[in-house]
Amino acid sequence: MIEIPKEKLPKHIAFIMDGNGRWAKERNLPRIMGHKEGSLVVEKISEVAFNWGIQYLTFFAFSTENWKRPREEVEGLMQILDESIDKFKDKLIENHIKLKIIGDITALPPYLQRRIKYALEETKHGENHILTVAINYGGRWDIVEAAKKIIEDVKKEKISLNSIDTKSFSKYLSTSDLPDPDFLIRTSGEYRISNFMLWQLAYTEIWFTPKYWPDFNEEDLKAACIEYSKRKRRFGGLEDNA
């Protein structure tokens, strides 16, 4: 359990799960073994976070740039995603957790598209929490797709050009039904956001750890949340006593 008042916990945590390949390499294992180990950590961390009362979790599983990796690794990642979604689905249903996928799934292998659509249908009534997985996702892609939809609606006279503002723009993003992340955790010691949720992370608190994702555990999540609870979020303004 975590000794932090619920109101001081982030409602939405996003994760950039980095370091799987390096974790495997340091153990003289194939890179894909790091990704397999990392998929188990997603399950463990999700269970812990949801039990603490955190409502939304988002995991960056596969970016639009990850297609540049060796074919064997990409194919292995697709299989791991397929197996993980199938395995995790029943637990999501049991705990009334809704699965959400963001990204262009039309580019994924047909078998994975089928798995995703089935899991989304089976978990759509989940009302306790939302677990989002970003697959073939990029922040720039998300913004461009939103712009295309807005252009179409303007052409169809569903909205006027002058009515578009930051609030209405957000409704066209793939995360339109999610609050922006309060907290971003990135593992492996890299200090960048790697084209992840560029619009949504505008005022997100960020926490970096040198640990590789397969080594990330409950104690690390607790340490991150304790750090978050001490921060003052001003969203560009000033504190009341400033």
135: β partners: 62
What whole-number distance in Å separates Cα of residue 157 and Cα of residue 154?
5
What whole-number distance in Å separates Cα of residue 197 and Cα of residue 14?
9
Our answer to whether residue 18 is catalytic in this structure is yes
CB contact at 8 A, 37 and 214: yes
Q: How far is CA 150 from CA 68, 144, 164, 169, 197, in A?
A: 30, 10, 8, 8, 19
What whole-number distance in Å separates Cα of residue 132 and Cα of residue 101?
6
What whole-number distance in Å separates Cα of residue 66 and Cα of residue 163?
36
CA-wise closest residue to 48 among 21, 98, 81, 13: 13
Query: Catalytic residue among 18, 142, 180, 182, which?
Result: 18
Q: How far is CA 173 from CA 52, 139, 170, 185, in A?
A: 28, 10, 5, 21
Our answer to whether residue 220 is catalytic in this structure is no
Query: Catalytic residue among 20, 28, 51, 66, which?
Result: 66
How are the residues of the chain apportioned to helix, strand and coil, as percentages rounded to the nearest 5? 50, 15, 35
The residue length of the chain stands at 242
- Positions annotated as catalytic residues are 18, 66
